[in-house]
Amino acid sequence: MKSIVDVTNLKVEEMIGMNFECQCGKNHIVEINSVKIGRNIIEQLPEFLDEFKNRKILIVQDIHTYAVAGKMTEEILKNDFSLKKYVFPQEHLLPDVYALGRVLIELEDDTELILGIGSGVINDICRYVAYRAHVPYAIVCTAPSMDGYASVVSPLITDGFKESHKAIYPYGIYADIEIMKNAPMYLLCSGLGDVLGKYTALADWSIANLLTGEYYCKTIADMVQAAVDKCVSAAPRIPERNDEVVKNITEALVLSGITIGMAGCSRPASGSEHHIAHGWEIMFHTRSSEEKWVHGNFVGVGTVVMAMLFEELKDIDIDSVMAKKSFRYYDMNKWRQNIESVFVKVAGNVINYKKDAMELNPDKRLENAEKIAANWKEILHIGQVMVPSSDNVKKILKDGGCVWHPEELGIDKNLFIKTFIAAKDIRTRYGVVHLIDDLGLTVEFANLIADKLYKSNIVLG
């Protein structure tokens, strides 16, 4: 097996079936049969799915995706394949146990492929059912809205709590740019937001590697960075629904998904910006099922917030934090109250998820803080090198015609403070939100960032 020196500039299509020994010590394997991104991809589906000819395919879609791509797919495949279709009737389909069960009921013994037609939710549902039923699945993408197409996990909602579940790589990813570019604008923005989140995700990963010795792969980080940069330079042309831009975003999203499988964890794709975004998603799910925004919209705003936090780090007087040692004692009552006030019905799930991971021993807390202090310069360096300024992140989102401020998501200042505090409780994967918590600064920074975000003279848009 030869070691590939530079994989950072490979096109997504060239990465398929890749198997190489990396400097990080892992053997990176991409077990996807094909990724096709371009114009008129749908017409070529019979060729891509050749090995399933005359066999049964279950097509899963919702009313919207049936209209934009499902009907056409059916026409194109019906002569050579045995098709069965299911169309979810819901206006707002959720990736929950009911949706999973519905697909399972449609899945007949002789089904040889599940073909999803949609984006985030349909993809997550099909991937998980396919994994548990030992049937391959492929996806016809309808929007460049999130990085889950090539991923190996499905975030699913159980008991109101959204958690990632292990699943499989898709057999194929088919992204027809003609369809993707006509997706609703908030979905195109969602894709941009999910891509932007990689800046802070990679910085978190690097910090975790520094402080906890967690596995890190520079090759993967460089691959993601290159894809994000390419996507960002194209972002201002999103409102034009430009072919090239939509292709760049789609490629960056698929690549990001692939790197999750390569790394064996979601580190290259998800950090503190995703923690706060997941918190917002969970919170809105519990309050109403009619939310307007989707995953990447939350992540984009979360990236602005976390870029602000990275900026604030340089003003911390680490010597005085270490002299005061106020981080040694943790107020569990306040911690619990905050989670309860944000997540109401599902607060118990969040508390149970996090409580065993809390470090309450004052000596251990001192040890953790000392480790941070000892690596302080390097931490600041990571933030400066890897994370763009928050003004820059804002500008990228604004120029793309996308939401960037929590208020646009329906989060007022008070709620923002609480959700910022709770971001560290959504996932235990170490990042900048855990770092400031180890220093006892979470509440202080929640207020500081809220003050800056919600200035009285704020002009949105």
Q: Which residue, 147 or 312, has its beta carbon nearer to Zn ion?
A: 147
Residue 358 binding Zn ion, by CB under 5 A: no
**Window contacting Zn ion (CB under 5 A); options: 24-32, 36-44, 172-180, 382-390:** 24-32
Buried b (16+ CB within 10 A) or exposed e, 100-125: bebbeeebeeebebbbbbbbbbbbbb
User: In the window 190-209, what residues touch Zn ion (CB under 5 A)?
Assistant: 194
Considering only residues 83 to 102 of the shown chain, the ones binding Zn ion according to CB under 5 A are none
Rounded to a whole number of angstroms, the minimum distance from the CB of residue 87 to Zn ion is 26
Q: How far is the CB of 40 from Zn ion (least distance, A)?
A: 28
Q: Which two tokens stand for residue 113?
A: 């492929």
Measured from the CB atom, the residue of 24 and 94 that comes closer to Zn ion is 24
Q: Binding-site residue total for Zn ion (CB under 5 A)?
A: 5
Of the pair 22, 94, the CB lying nearest Zn ion is at: 22
User: Nearer Cβ to Zn ion, position 269 or 316?
Assistant: 269
Six token digits for residue 140: 């016809």
The backbone torsions φ and ψ at residue 165, rounded to the nearest 5 degrees and listed phi first, read: -120, 140
Q: Is the Cβ–Cβ distance between 444 and 420 less than 8 Å?
A: no
Kindly tell me which of 107 and 306 has the beta carbon lying closer to Zn ion.
306
CA–CA separation, 296 and 312 (whole Å): 24
Binding letters toward Zn ion, positions 156-195, x by CB under 5 A: --------------------------------------x-
When asked if residue 219 is in the footprint of Zn ion (CB under 5 A), the reply is yes
Q: Cα–Cα–Cα angle for 131, 291, 167, nearest 5°? A: 10
Query: What would the 3-class secondary structure string for 320-350 be?
Result: HHHHHCHHHCCCHHHHHHHHHHHHHHHHHHH
Collapsing DSSP states into helix, strand and coil, what is residue 121? Answer: helix
Q: What are phi and psi of 88, to 5 degrees?
A: -65, 130
Q: How far is the CB of 68 from Zn ion (least distance, A)?
A: 22
Please state at what angle helix 218-234 crosses helix 185-212, rounded to 10 degrees.
Answer: 150
Q: Between residues 124 and 194, which has the closer beta carbon with respect to Zn ion?
A: 194
- For residues 172 and 302, which CB has a smaller minimum distance to Zn ion in the complex? 302
- Least CB distance to Zn ion at residue 415 (A): 22
**Whose Cβ is closer to Zn ion: residue 268's or residue 383's?**
268
Contact 226, 8 (CB under 8 A): yes
Residue 282: left (phi > 0), alpha (psi -120 to 50), or beta?
alpha
Q: How far is the CB of 183 from Zn ion (least distance, A)?
A: 17
Q: Which is nearer to Zn ion, 194 or 204 (CB)?
A: 194
Check if the beta carbon of residue 57 is closer than 8 Å to that of residue 283.
Answer: no
Q: What is the largest CA-CA distance in the chain?
A: 75
> Which residue, 101 or 264, is less far from Zn ion as judged by CB?
264
Task: Report, in Å, the least distance between residue 441 CB and Zn ion.
Answer: 26
CB of 152 to Zn ion, least distance (A): 14
Binding region for Zn ion (CB under 5 A) out of 45-53, 150-158, 216-224, 336-344: 216-224
Q: Which window, 22-30, 335-343, 356-364, 390-398, contacts Zn ion (CB under 5 A)?
A: 22-30
Candidates 73-81, 206-214, 219-227, 399-407; binding stretch for Zn ion (CB under 5 A): 219-227
Q: Are 125 and 100 in contact (CB under 8 A)?
A: yes
Nearer to Zn ion, 123 or 219 (CB): 219
Binding span for Zn ion by CB under 5 A among 67-75, 211-219, 280-288, 377-385: 211-219
Q: To the nearest whole angstrom, how small is the minimum distance from the Cβ of residue 267 to Zn ion?
A: 11
Burial grade of 352 (CB within 10 A; 0-12, 13-18, 19 or more): exposed
Q: Which of 4, 10, 18, 24 binds Zn ion (CB under 5 A)?
A: 24
318 is an interface residue for Zn ion by CB under 5 A? no
9 alpha-carbon distance from chain centroid: 22
> Does residue 370 sit in helix, strand or coil?
helix
Return the number of the residue (32 or 269) whose C-beta is nearest Zn ion: 269
**Of the listed pieces 14-22, 73-81, 128-136, 397-405, which binds Zn ion according to CB under 5 A?**
14-22
Among 217, 231, 321, 432, binds Zn ion (CB under 5 A): 217
Q: Does 22 bind Zn ion (CB under 5 A)?
A: yes
Q: How far is the CB of 299 from Zn ion (least distance, A)?
A: 5
Do residues 255 and 230 make contact, with C-beta atoms less than 8 angstroms apart? no
Q: Six-digit token pair at 264?
A: 């064996």
- Cβ contacts of 251 within 8 Å, gap of 6 or more: 11, 12, 37, 227, 230, 231
**Nearest distance from C-beta of residue 270 to Zn ion, angstroms:** 6
CA nearest neighbour of 220 among 256, 250, 251: 256
Q: C-beta of 362: minimal distance to Zn ion in Å?
A: 36
Integer CA distances (angstroms), 233 to 275, 305, 332, 387, 392, in order: 26, 21, 45, 16, 12
The residue ranges that bind Zn ion (CB under 5 A) are 22, 24, 194, 217, 219
